[in-house]
Structure 1
Amino acid sequence: MKWKWLAFLPALVLFLAACGAETVEDFAYTDHRGDEMSKENLLGTPWLATFVFTNCETVCPPMTFNLADLQGEIEAAGLTDYKIVAFSVDPKADTPEKIQEYLSYYPIPDESKWHILTGYKQDDIAEFAADNFKTLVKNDPNSNQVIHGTSFYLVDQEGAVVSNYDGFENVPTGEIIEAMKKLEQ
């Protein structure tokens, strides 16, 4: 009888792992200020994550505006302990200087909270996005654009992805703020 449970145990472990939040793997990349930003630097602070690139001709400009607007609402709600982390999906083109210029076009309430990351290979960020956020990053074979998801991800203080939200059209600002407040408790 004991052996039957042992055969069932691996399936149970996989099921429970699938039910829990995905924990972001360790990383250490360069942000738009030229500083290193790592998962370790973020531990203890909740953060919003997304994927963008500066040459984007479609979804990234509205997503970045939405993220700036969301930050304004976060600030208005009195939340101060958070970061915003965006991973460039075109790291070859997105230098820290180019990312700084890109951010200058947006009404960002507190740029010190932002970290737009680069300094890795595109294959690496594609794998990182799939493994940690269950999202696609892929070059468009018909253009210089990169196909990627449009979600905002809420990551808790321990580095676990706890929720994802539409970051393109219908950003649920109130829901995100309430989830962030719960993380502060």
Structure 2
Amino acid sequence: MKCEGEKTYPEAGSCPVCKMDLQPMETENSKELSDQDISEESIFNLTSKWHTEEGNEIQLEDLKGKTLVMVMIYTSCKAACPRLVADMRNIEAQIPEANLDDLRFVLVSIDPKIDTPERLKAFAKENMMDGEQWTFLQGTESSVQEFANVLAVKYKKISPIDFSHSNIISVFNSQGELIHQQEGLGVDNKETVEAILQLTQGQS
């Protein structure tokens, strides 16, 4: 509790000197907490740990502060995933360079046993997706399933090396809240690009 001037007192009541009511102090910690709050809808509430293509261990909250464009793929996929990758690169090509600083493209593997960080890094280079704005993530089977549930992505192993899966590109704001989803392969991504531009211009 605080009186006028710099005197403070541990309990509520009135000041023994000036008799005025004491005012509660706002601590720096409480200010910091309010600045760092994330909503219940944020993917940053997921506490699972992931490995990037560089082998670094991160949590999703480490991606906070940038607009995120996220998709779930696996590197040995010969059908849908190459087209999803092409869609992601097509979206990137439509974003002005000035907006790329506020943007991160994140590709999450649904096949964590095969898609090691080393394999993801090689895949990134092969597909010219090894710039700073690209991140590939390998999780555990349970963290991948949890993340897929949040994105409403369904996937199922149909052979030792193949999965059937949803083809959804998701856009999140800098606080990890889902803003837009694009479903399908090779579809018109005008709305997705517009959502990204609005978010990245807002952060600049």
Give the match's secondary structure for 1:54.
Answer: coil
In structure 2, the gaps of 5 or more residues are 1-38
- Say if 2:73 and 2:107, in contact at 8 Å, map to a contact too: yes
Q: Report the number of matched residues.
A: 160
In 2, Cα distance between equivalents of 1:32 and 1:57? 20
In structure 1, the gaps of 5 or more residues are 1-19
Post-superposition offset of 1:54: 0.7
Q: Tell me the equivalent position of 2:14.
A: none
Q: 1:168 aligns with which of 179, 185, 189?
A: 185
- What amino acid sits opposite 1:35 in the alignment? N
Which structure ranks higher in relative contact order (CA pairs < 8 Å, sequence separation ≥ 6)? 1
Please give the residue correspondences for 1:1-185 in structure 2 after superposition, counting only pairs within 5 Å: 22-24=41-43, 25-26=45-46, 27-75=48-96, 78-80=98-100, 81-108=102-129, 111-121=131-141, 123-130=142-149, 132-140=150-158, 142=159, 144-166=161-183, 168-172=185-189, 174-184=190-200, 185=202
- Say if 1:44 and 1:157, in contact at 8 Å, map to a contact too: yes
Change in Cα spacing, 1:30 to 1:135, as seen in structure 2 (3 Å) is same
In 1, Cα distance between equivalents of 2:57 and 2:119? 17
1:155-180 deviation digits (Å, cap 9, x = unpaired): 111111111013522141x3222212
In 1, Cα distance between equivalents of 2:41 and 2:166? 17
In 1, Cα distance between equivalents of 2:183 and 2:197? 19
- Say if 1:21 and 1:162, in contact at 8 Å, map to a contact too: no
- Say if 2:49 and 2:139, in contact at 8 Å, map to a contact too: no
Give the match's secondary structure for 2:164.
Answer: strand
In 1, Cα distance between equivalents of 2:177 and 2:135? 18
Post-superposition offset of 1:146: 1.3
Give the match's secondary structure for 2:76.
Answer: coil
Give the match's secondary structure for 2:139.
Answer: coil
In 2, Cα distance between equivalents of 1:86 and 1:37? 14
- Tell me which stretches of 4 or more aligned residues in structure 1 moved more than 6 Å: none
- What amino acid sits opposite 1:175 in the alignment? E
Post-superposition offset of 1:143: 5.1
Same amino acid, percent of matched pairs? 22
Quote the RMSD (CA, aligned, Å): 2.1
Post-superposition offset of 1:106: 1.5
Please state which structure has a larger fraction of its residues in helix: 1
Moved more, 149-158 or 28-37: 28-37
TM-score calculated relative to the size of structure 2:
0.71
Q: Tell me the equivalent position of 2:8.
A: none
TM-score calculated relative to the size of structure 1:
0.77
Post-superposition offset of 1:150: 0.8
In 1, Cα distance between equivalents of 2:168 and 2:128? 20
In 1, Cα distance between equivalents of 2:113 and 2:145? 13
Give the match's secondary structure for 1:74.
Answer: coil
Q: Tell me the equivalent position of 1:11.
A: none
In 2, Cα distance between equivalents of 1:33 and 1:167? 29
